[in-house]
Amino acid sequence: MLRARGIIYLATGAVGGLLGGLLGVGGGIIFVPLLTGPGGLQRRLAHGTSLAVVIFVALAAAPYYWAKGDIGWSTVAALAVGGIFASVAGARLMAHLPTDVLSRLFGLLVLATAARLLW
């Protein structure tokens, strides 16, 4: 069982890393559904785990984008400042929301993202 779970996590990391590097998608869109589905993690644990993993995935892919001149550093700075403060607020808010509300909010985010990309 433990070995099977490790294989699932390895495959999840591979899928998330490939799609993150290829499409620039946020890890949560890929990692959270895979971690809560086949990975068997509870939603809150999946959210935190996804955030931690994205650090490493982004650090691995960013040098390739940087070498090609495909990083807008002024945009990075603005996004980082806003994102750092808002992510702390979001993490604190998550601690007070029921799991079913988190699931619905995540689902709405995925649907809105899909709609934006398709239309």
Q: Nearest CA to 12 among 28, 44, 46, 35? A: 35
Is the pTM of the predicted complex or chain greater than 0.85? no
> Is 39:9 a contact under the CB 8 Å cutoff?
yes
Query: Are 28 and 50 spatial neighbours (Cβ–Cβ below 8 Å)?
Result: yes
Q: Which domain covers residue 55, as residue numbers? A: 2-118
Q: What is the pLDDT of residues 93-117, one digit of tens each?
A: 999 999 999 999 999 998 998 999 8
Q: State residue 73 phi and psi, 5-degree precision.
A: -65, -35
Number of domains the chain contains: 1
In tens, the pLDDT along 36-61 reads 999 999 999 999 999 999 999 889 99
What backbone phi and psi angles, to 5 degrees, belong to 37? -85, -100
